[in-house]
Amino acid sequence: MPKVKEGCNYSKKYTEEDIIKAIAAVNNGMPKKTAALKFGVPRPTLQFRLCSKFIKSRPGPTTILTEEEEKTLVEWVISSSRKGFPKRKEDILLSVEQFLSRNPRPNNFVNNKPGDGWYRLFLKRHPELTHRTAEAVTSASANVSETNIRQWFQQIESYLKDNGYFDILSDASRVYNGDETNFQLCPKNTKVLAEKGCKNVYEVDHAQAKSCLTVMFTFSASGKTTPPMVIYPLKRMRADIRNSVPSHWGLGLSDNGWMNKNLFYQYIHNVLYPYLVENKIQFPIILFVDGHKSHMNYDLSESCKEKGIILIALYPNATRILQPADVSAFKPMKNAWKKAS
């Protein structure tokens, strides 16, 4: 056996696309030898691929996820990015962890979560993915330019047209805007009357000063309001709350009374989707939400895709411009809440 020089790289010099082109050429009448030379594919390899018994597999050791499963993951990353939900390394690893927890199989991961080595090889297997530095848009960026907004519109328009969804925009009953707002259970201190000269005036506080609850609303472009979901800062749902809330509303619990991925998932599937079905809304529909990380994970993306709900992120920190709920509904509602409290 000939000696292999250290450092030599015997990796193949042709791609899967080269093989596909060579096979197509042979099927169109080109001699195998000519096709092999033209596309740089070894003749034995071409002959083997032309065999009807060939089953495509990736080179190297068997991976934990199948080729089709990894392809689905890649498509999710690309699609999410185009819709305004760019993914980070941790999003990928958590998605794989959740998938393996639901679909157990032998692996050497710690608690089903892949490590840096798997992630590095995953990117190597899928060169269509690459790291990019996201444009940082903070709450201090009050100077969102017209160019920024126009670029966002162009990006979304391109995505909708490429996927055959653009016609949805012509039907107001199929376009929705979801937004959440929080209500302090103890709003800012109000002025009260007291004896002149008294420096400290106290009032019994019926709730923790920083406690709040969040309400998730969704409005259609046709002017309809869907049932909301109210999220309470509680460990267990109290019977008096459950009995006082309309049955078609959603109820959720979180430690701080804020929205999170699991609650948003529940809202979509237990509140919004049943409403759409009951009202015979044509699917698919478009749901614009803000791009906060609490809204999107792989499970929700795939489930919404199956149900015909297209989630699209609004341009970050431009709610005063793009978010109809913030502009026209929430401000007067919260002013009324403060007065009533």
Residues forming beta bridges with residue 181, ordered by sequence position: 215
Pull the structure tokens for residue 174: 């199929």
The answer to whether the CB of 159 falls within 8 A of the CB of 82 is yes
Burial class (CB in 10 A: 0-12, 13-18, 19+), 126: middle
What is the pTM (predicted TM-score) of this model?
A: 0.66
Alpha helices by DSSP H, 83-137: 89-102, 116-125
* Whole-number pLDDT of residue 4: 42
What distance in Å separates the CA atoms of residue 126 and residue 124, rounded to the nearest whole number? 5
What is the phi/psi pair of residue 114, to 5°?
A: -65, 160
Q: What integer pLDDT is reported at residue 300 of this predicted model?
A: 87
Residues of the chain with pLDDT under 50: 1-7, 139-141, 199-202, 206-207, 209
CA dist 172 and 224 (Å) reads: 10
pLDDT at 53: 56
Residue type, 305: K
**Dist CA 98 CA 112 (whole Å):** 8
* Amino acid type, 16: E
- Res 1: pLDDT: 41
The phi and psi torsions of 62 (rounded to 5 degrees) equal: -65, 135
Check residue 120 and give its pLDDT: 92
Alpha carbon of residue 112 to chain centroid: 21
β-bridge partners, 229: 216, 250
Spell out the alpha helix ranges (H) of 180-289.
239-244, 261-267, 273-278
Would you state the pLDDT for residue 189? 52
- The amino acid at residue 40 is G
pLDDT of residue 16: 79
**Consecutive H or E run containing 179:** strand 175-184
